[in-house]
Amino acid sequence: MRTVTVDILNDEALNLLKDLEALNVIRLHSSDETANTSSKLSEKYKGAMSKQTRDAVNQQLNDLRNEWE
């Protein structure tokens, strides 16, 4: 299954897409569903990283960079 984004320029095109959905050829998602999933990304990843001081993060970055040198 592939996902594509389509801009509807004419209401007839939307009717054709709805007909294809009725034939189980495609599945339509409203723009409201798309907006909801993108706005919830912050909630999805909230707490994924532990809180660290700026100095600790900088030290880790420097250690990683020095490994490659």
Q: Which two tokens stand for residue 19?
A: 């007909």
How much is the pLDDT for 2?
Answer: 86
**For residue 12, what are the CA distances in angstroms to 9, 19, 45, 47?**
9, 11, 40, 45
Asked if residue 58 has pLDDT above 70, the reply is yes
Is residue 28 within 8 Å of 15, Cβ to Cβ?
no
pTM: 0.43
Residue with tokens 């912050």: 42
Report the pLDDT averaged over residues 29-44: 67
9-28 confidence digits (pLDDT tens): 998 999 999 999 999 999 99
How much is the pLDDT for 21?
Answer: 93
